[in-house]
Amino acid sequence: MTPGEVQRAEEEVLDRARNGDREAFGDLVERYQDTVYTLAVRLVGPDLAADVAQEALLRAWRALPRFRGEAAFGTWLHRITVNTAWTLRKRARRHAVQPLEGDFEDGGLRPERAGELAEMRAGLGRALCALTPGQRAVVVLRDVYGWSNAETARELGITEVTAKVRLHRARLRLRTLLEGSR
Amino acid sequence: MRNPLCFFASRFPGEGPAFLARHRACCLRCQAAAARERSLRRALPGLADEVLVAPPGLQSGVLCRLGEQDAADPRRPLVVRAAARYAAAAGLVLATGLAFAAGLARRQSRALG
Ligand SMILES: [Zn+2]
């Protein structure tokens, strides 16, 4: 299948799901559940990520008739995931646990990268877990997923200045954590 | 002991005042910190390529719980959406009640007149 054909096939599935076809939505869930879950893990940690991913996908189903395709479906889904993670953050705080060695490896990391790179990324993943939820959300959206400052601020319901300050503090803390772990 | 200028230079997001920019330009410690920050910012986007595998029950859990589609804003919290629905329902009940009361009053005034 060419990329164009893949896109047309996805649009067709999306159309069916938008019109209430549950089976078609099942196909979309299968296609996007890993990326939604990964974003949830980055935002709230592995303990609450499955709940956030499930709730985000359910919200997406309910809202699907209003999806007009202004953004890619994946982007739309990511915005819903961020919002869901954020509204469930009180639960995240109640479930707060200190990150353990190997949290991310146990989370089902695909064994496609090895050695130093994987170790550095695992270290980064652990350091991210040690940030406050607010700092983590900003650094994940800005530096990991490349969102703009305006978009990040809007989705998290904070001002752009707050987003900038949080990002700066988060990077500083990450550097300290990574230097401390060496 | 750490130079207080290094401390302030690290705490200021962006360039900050001119005296901090001048300090950064000639302080090896601040330059090393900036290099570490650059390498951190290069490493972070790599995490986006890493995709974790969703737990096995996620898809079936979602499909079991699919309700009706209501085209509601997915980014409005559930509580707010529920409150909006209840408010709409309460409004409808109130309007029906008022219409009923007005009808009764009309009938009574006709019976009296
Ligand atoms: Zn310095």
| Burial zone of A149 (CB within 10 Å; 0-12 exposed, 13-18 middle, 19+ buried) | middle
Q: Are residues A10 and A89 in the same domain?
A: yes
What is the predicted pLDDT for the residue at A116? Answer: 63
In the reported structure, the alpha carbon of residue B4 is separated from the centroid of ligand 1 by a whole-number distance in angstroms of: 8
Per the CB < 8 A criterion, the answer to whether A80 and A60 are in contact is: yes
Q: Are residues A142 and A81 in the same domain?
A: no
Q: Are residues A77 and A122 in the same domain?
A: no
B54, B74, B77 member nearest A60 (Cβ)? B74
Region A155-180: mean pLDDT is 90
Q: What residues of chain B score a pLDDT lower than 50?
A: 78
The count of domains in chain A is 2
Question: How many of the other CB atoms lie within 10 Å of CB of A23?
Answer: 10
What is the predicted pLDDT for the residue at B71? Answer: 72
Give buried/exposed letters for A25-38 (b at 16+ CB in 10 A, else e): bbbbbeebbbbbbb
Its sign, for the CA torsion B102, B105, B111, B113, is negative
Interface test with chain B among A143, A156, A173, by most B beta carbons within 10 Å: A143
Per CB-CB distance under 8 Å, the chain B contacts of A129 are: none
Q: Are residues A75 and A150 in the same domain?
A: no
Q: What is the pLDDT of residues A61-71, one digit of tens each?
A: 999 998 888 88
Instruction: Compute chain B's Rg from CA coordinates.
Output: 32
Q: Of A44, A62, A94, which residue sits at a domain end?
A: A94
Cβ–Cβ below 8 Å for B73 and A66: yes
Looking at residue B66, what DSSP letter applies? -
Query: Is residue A100 a part of any domain in this protein?
Result: no
Query: Is residue A104 a part of any domain in this protein?
Result: no
Query: At A79, which CATH number?
Result: 1.10.1740.10
Domain extent at residue A143: 111-180
Measured distance CA(A35)–CA(B57) in Å, rounded: 15
Asked if the model's pLDDT at residue A98 lies above 50, the reply is: no
For chain A, what percent of residues have pLDDT higher than 70?
Answer: 83
Asked if the model's pLDDT at residue A113 lies above 50, the reply is: no
Q: Of A94, A122, A143, which residue sits at a domain end?
A: A94
Q: Are residues A81 and A143 in the same domain?
A: no
Region A33-37: mean pLDDT is 96
Q: Are residues A82 and A11 in the same domain?
A: yes
Cβ–Cβ below 8 Å for B40 and A174: yes
Interface test with chain A among B8, B50, B63, by most A beta carbons within 10 Å: B50
Q: Are residues A85 and A133 in the same domain?
A: no
Q: Are residues A90 and A118 in the same domain?
A: no
What is the predicted pLDDT for the residue at A82? Answer: 93
What is the predicted pLDDT for the residue at A173? Answer: 92
Q: What is the pLDDT of residues A131-144, one digit of tens each?
A: 998 999 999 999 99
Query: At A123, which CATH number?
Result: 1.10.10.10
Restricting to A residues 14-53, those with a Cβ less than 8 Å away from any Cβ of B are 20, 22, 25-26, 29-30, 33-38, 41-42, 50, 53
Binning pLDDT at 50, 70 and 90, where does residue A92 land? low
Residue A94 vs residues A44, A46, A97: alpha-carbon distances, Å? 11, 14, 9
Asked if the model's pLDDT at residue A16 lies above 90, the reply is: yes
What is the predicted pLDDT for the residue at A111? Answer: 43
Measured distance CA(B66)–CA(A83) in Å, rounded: 19
What is the predicted pLDDT for the residue at A137? Answer: 93
Cβ–Cβ below 8 Å for A87 and B68: no
Query: Is residue A164 a part of any domain in this protein?
Result: yes
Which one of A102-106, A112-116, A177-181, B99-103 scores highest in mean pLDDT? B99-103
Q: Of A41, A69, A94, which residue sits at a domain end?
A: A94
Query: Is residue A141 a part of any domain in this protein?
Result: yes
Per the CB < 8 A criterion, the answer to whether A55 and A131 are in contact is: no
B56: Cα within 13 Å, side-chain hemisphere: 0
Mean pLDDT of chain A: 83
Q: What is the pLDDT of residues A47-85, one digit of tens each?
A: 889 999 999 999 999 999 988 888 889 999 999 999 999
Residue B26 vs residues A156, B5, B21, B23, B43: alpha-carbon distances, Å? 38, 12, 9, 6, 26
Restricting to A residues 152-181, those with a Cβ less than 8 Å away from any Cβ of B are 155, 164-165, 167-168, 171-172, 174-175, 178-179
What is the predicted pLDDT for the residue at A146? Answer: 92
What is the predicted pLDDT for the residue at A96? Answer: 52
Instruction: Compute chain A's Rg from CA coordinates.
Output: 17
Question: Nearest-CA residue of chain B relative to A142?
Answer: B45
The shortest C-alpha distance from A98 to chain B (Å) reads 20
Q: Are residues A69 and A143 in the same domain?
A: no
* Nearest CA-CA partner of A170 in B62, B63, B41, B32: B41
Name, in order, each residue with C-beta under 8 angstroms of B104's C-beta and a sequence gap of 6 or more: none
Distance of CA A85 to the CA centre of its chain: 8
Region A5-26: mean pLDDT is 90
Q: Are residues A80 and A123 in the same domain?
A: no
Cβ–Cβ below 8 Å for B58 and A38: no
For chain A, what percent of residues have pLDDT higher than 90?
Answer: 52
Taking a 5 Å cut-off on Cβ, the residues next to ion ligand 1 are B 6, 27, 29-30
> Does the beta carbon of B56 lie under 8 angstroms from any beta carbon of chain A?
no
Tally helices (H) and strands (E) across chain B: 6, 0
Region A107-128: mean pLDDT is 65
Query: How many interface pairs between A and B have CB atoms less than 8 angstroms apart?
Result: 134
Q: Are residues A77 and A137 in the same domain?
A: no
Per the CB < 8 A criterion, the answer to whether B10 and A172 are in contact is: yes
